[in-house]
Every structure is written in structure tokens, then in C-alpha cells.
Amino acid sequence: MPIDPTAPYDDDNIFAKILRGEIPNTTVIETEHSLAFHDITPQAPTHVLVIPKGAYVSFDHFASEAGEAEIIDYVRTIGQVAQMCGVDLGEGGGFRLISNAGRDGVQEVPHLHVHVLGGRGLGRMLQPA
């Protein structure tokens, strides 16, 4: 179910539980402010989720409320994940970043996450409605 975009941050969301160590994950990299782990239902050979450790619902929430150190760490971690997974332009065939937000973005987990997808041709960005 898509999330309610007007709801406050939900401490019981699945990524909050992963951050608290209550649910296992397959970590790719952990930094001071960010965690990257494999998606449980991969849609491509590379499908990694990158989340900030702070309680941010969506990209716009993070962009307006996070501190500079968190933002720098998060952006650099996403780039590192692309490199580590061998999909960056230096090594691989490229990648796609997706961050679904709210109802129209069909966001299922109400904690900011960027999907890093690659390892095969990903087709056009959106299917016609």
C-alpha cells in the first residue's frame, strides 16, 4: 500500500527496524550516516537500497531537514554503492537511481530510500500510464 504523505514518521517502519538491528539485512556498506543493503525482491542484477540513518520519510523531507554532513554522506554513499556493485560508468554499463515518494510515487516504505539499479538494460524510465 502506498503511504499516506501527510502521516508523521513511523518508527515502526521496516527500515527503522533494520536500522535498530531488529530485522536482518544484507549490508553493502555502512557509513556514519547511511546504510546500503540489498533489496529483498531485486528487480535487476544490482538492486541496492540506500537509506539515511536519520528519521526522514522522503527525499524532500531529507533535503529540507538533514544536516550537511548527512547529505554529503548520503550522496557519496550512493555513488560508492554504484562503484562497489560495478555498475558505475568507470567499470560498468551504468545504473538508475529511483526514490519513490508518497502516493503518486507509490512509496511503500515510509523511510527515505534510493534504489540503485543496474546490471542489465533497464528500458525506458516510465511505462505509459
Q: Among all residues, which ones are annotated catalytic?
A: 113
Q: Kindly determine how many residues on this chain lie close enough to bind ligand AMP according to the rule CB under 6 A.
A: 12
Distance CA 63, CA 43 (A): 27
- Contact of 14 with 23, CB cutoff 8 Å: yes
Instruction: Single out the residue of 27, 40, 103, 120 in contact with ligand AMP (rule: CB under 6 A).
Output: 40
39 near ligand AMP (CB under 6 A): yes
Q: Is 108 in the site for ligand AMP (CB under 6 A)?
A: yes
Residue 88 to residue 107: CA distance in whole angstroms: 25
Residue with smaller CB distance to ligand AMP, 12 or 68: 12
Find the shortest distance in angstroms from Cβ 4 to ligand AMP: 13
For ligand AMP, the closer CB: 91 or 120: 120
Query: What residues have CB less than 8 Å from 53, skipping those under 6 apart?
Result: 19, 32, 33, 34, 35
Sign of CA dihedral 6, 12, 17, 20: positive
Q: How far apart are CA 101 and CA 61, in angstroms?
A: 10
Tell me if 55 contacts ligand AMP by CB under 6 A.
no
Which of 6, 41, 64, 127 touches ligand AMP (CB under 6 A)? 41
Binding site for ligand AMP (CB under 6 A): 14, 23, 25, 39-41, 49, 100, 106-109
